[in-house]
Amino acid sequence: MNVLKSLEHGAKDFVFGICRVFFRKGRQVGLTIDPSGISKVLFLRPEKIGDMVISLPVFDALRAHFPEVRISVLASPRNYELIKDDPRFDRIFLYRKWTLEDFRQLAAIRRERFDCVIDMIDNDSVTALFFSQLAGSRAIRIGVGKTRHAIFYDFNHHHADGIGEHIIDNTLKLLAPFGINGTVSSGFAPPYISADARTRAGAILATIAAGNIAIGFNLSAGMPNRIWPDDHCADLCGKLTNWRNDVHIVIITDPGDRTRGERLLAMTGGNVTLVPDGLGLVEVSALISRLDLLLSPDTSLIHIARSFQVPVVGLYSRATKNFRRWRPYRQADGAVVGSDIDTIRDITVEQVVDRVRQVLGRVEAERR
């Protein structure tokens, strides 16, 4: 896999080296953009689910200041399901890693004649650079975290690593060229949930956890080092349901990880339920929005929960930069950080139980 990745990057660098002589360099367009000349904006976000979730506040802030602006996005197959029916977007384009369909998508993008392209990938992505260049010669281009490619953007926002700023607050600064102060914009922007999805989520929780404290427990994560051991998961479920008889654990898994959820369910006693099979990401998001608390080793669902201001307990390794930028948004007590820099396997059940008690106690005190 590493060899294939190296070949892919090598091929992209080779093509980039040839094409860069034809690319238009950034223009000095001033400190701000005249919004009167902007009617259509394309955001480039062909990445993971979490990357799309933390971008939603940016889309909402732009629309709040300029309601007539039409917003489109270049998404990926991974995050498309979350936004496919979202009325925020005028159009959604898909990038599938340089298939024939990608060239059709690029042609469709060019026909739109966007006034502005905002590249949200915070590194020197050759793919994003190509799309930003080929989207249209007249478009103003805004980038983030560019170094070698910075000369090809009209504006380039540098993420402030080292000052402890959350990725959502930092990403909102991308809108500075529009004269929008990201620090006063709301960082809470939930994904779009249809009425049908809300109804189904309500029916599921009414059936399995009516009148109880519903704690969602997500088992799945995008990387193996973020998987918590099965025996820890089973022990945690037992300790939480024994702690209070009104606690009900709702196990959530990725569709490809469902057998692990079934195995955990068989290891536990009462007051533990696995979500119904076949739920899509939007329906899971609707379910999360109704929880009293979400437990998760995966930051994507943590961001979704926090967008609804649902309390969370996230499990993090001691990767300081990752935690600093991707911690639970505006919830100081929302994380358990292990001592290992690479994995979360060293986090103990007792640490998680204590944090759940702390968070639920605080929430209940605030509601009184």
Q: For residue 326, what are its two tokens? A: 């991707």
Position 266 pLDDT exceeds 70: yes
Position 294 pLDDT exceeds 70: yes
Both 278 and 313 in one domain: the answer is yes
Both 211 and 347 in one domain: the answer is yes
Residue bearing the bigger pLDDT, 183 or 109? 109
Q: What would the pLDDT profile of 315-337 be if each residue is shown by its tens digit?
A: 999 876 678 889 999 999 999 99
Q: For residue 10, what are its two tokens? A: 């090598």
Query: What percentage of residues in the chain have a pLDDT greater than 90?
Result: 71
Q: What value does the mean pLDDT take over residues 133-147? A: 88
Residue ending a domain, among 132, 164, 184, is 184
Specify if 104 maps to a domain.
yes
Position 314 pLDDT exceeds 70: yes
pLDDT for residue 324: 83
CATH (domain of 281): 3.40.50.2000
Both 51 and 171 in one domain: the answer is yes
Q: What would the pLDDT profile of 215-241 be if each residue is shown by its tens digit?
A: 999 999 989 999 999 999 999 999 999
Residue bearing the bigger pLDDT, 243 or 21? 243
Both 141 and 261 in one domain: the answer is no
Specify if 72 maps to a domain.
yes
Both 82 and 215 in one domain: the answer is no
The distance in angstroms from the start CA to the end CA of the chain is 54
Separation of alpha carbons 203 and 187, rounded Å: 29
Instruction: Taking each helix axis as running N to C, give the angle between helix 126-134 and helix 2-19, from 0 to 180 degrees, rounded to the nearest 10.
Output: 40
Specify if 170 maps to a domain.
yes
Q: Mean pLDDT across the chain, nearest whole number?
A: 90
Both 309 and 340 in one domain: the answer is yes
Q: What value does the mean pLDDT take over residues 149-161? A: 82
Separation of alpha carbons 348 and 302, rounded Å: 20
Contact 64, 188 (CB under 8 A): no
Specify if 191 maps to a domain.
no
Separation of alpha carbons 10 and 8, rounded Å: 5
Instruction: Provide CB contacts within 8 A for 249, sequence distance 6+.
Output: 215, 217, 237, 240, 241, 268, 271, 272, 273
Contact 13, 126 (CB under 8 A): yes
Specify if 154 maps to a domain.
yes
Both 307 and 227 in one domain: the answer is yes
Both 172 and 207 in one domain: the answer is no
Exposure string over 68-100, b if 16+ CB within 10 A, otherwise e: ebbbbbbbbebbbebbeebebbeeebbbeeeee
β-bridge mates for residue 93, sequence order: 74
Confidence of residue 356 (pLDDT cuts 50, 70, 90): very high
Both 317 and 265 in one domain: the answer is yes
Residue ending a domain, among 127, 150, 184, is 184
Q: For the chain, what is the domain count? A: 2
Q: What value does the mean pLDDT take over residues 178-194? A: 93
Instruction: Provide CB contacts within 8 A for 122, sequence distance 6+.
Output: 144, 145, 159
Other Cβ atoms closer than 10 A to 10: 10
Confidence of residue 5 (pLDDT cuts 50, 70, 90): low
Confidence of residue 162 (pLDDT cuts 50, 70, 90): very low
Residue bearing the bigger pLDDT, 22 or 350? 350
Separation of alpha carbons 292 and 363, rounded Å: 9
Phi, psi (deg, nearest 5) at residue 71: -105, 130
Both 330 and 222 in one domain: the answer is yes
Both 104 and 165 in one domain: the answer is yes
Domain membership of residue 272 as a residue range: 196-367
Q: What value does the mean pLDDT take over residues 267-294? A: 95
Contact 44, 127 (CB under 8 A): no
Contact 68, 39 (CB under 8 A): yes
β-bridge mates for residue 71, sequence order: 41
Separation of alpha carbons 320 and 326, rounded Å: 10
- Which DSSP helix (H) or strand (E) runs through 250? strand 247-252
Residue bearing the bigger pLDDT, 233 or 182? 233
Phi, psi (deg, nearest 5) at residue 313: -130, 105
pLDDT for residue 137: 79
Exposure string over 332-345, b if 16+ CB within 10 A, otherwise e: eebbbbbeeeebbe
Specify if 322 maps to a domain.
yes
Among 12-21, 161-170, 235-244, name the one with the lowest average pLDDT: 12-21
Both 137 and 267 in one domain: the answer is no
Residue ending a domain, among 151, 184, 217, is 184
Q: What would the pLDDT profile of 65-108 be if each residue is shown by its tens digit?
A: 999 999 999 999 999 999 999 999 999 999 998 788 888 999 99
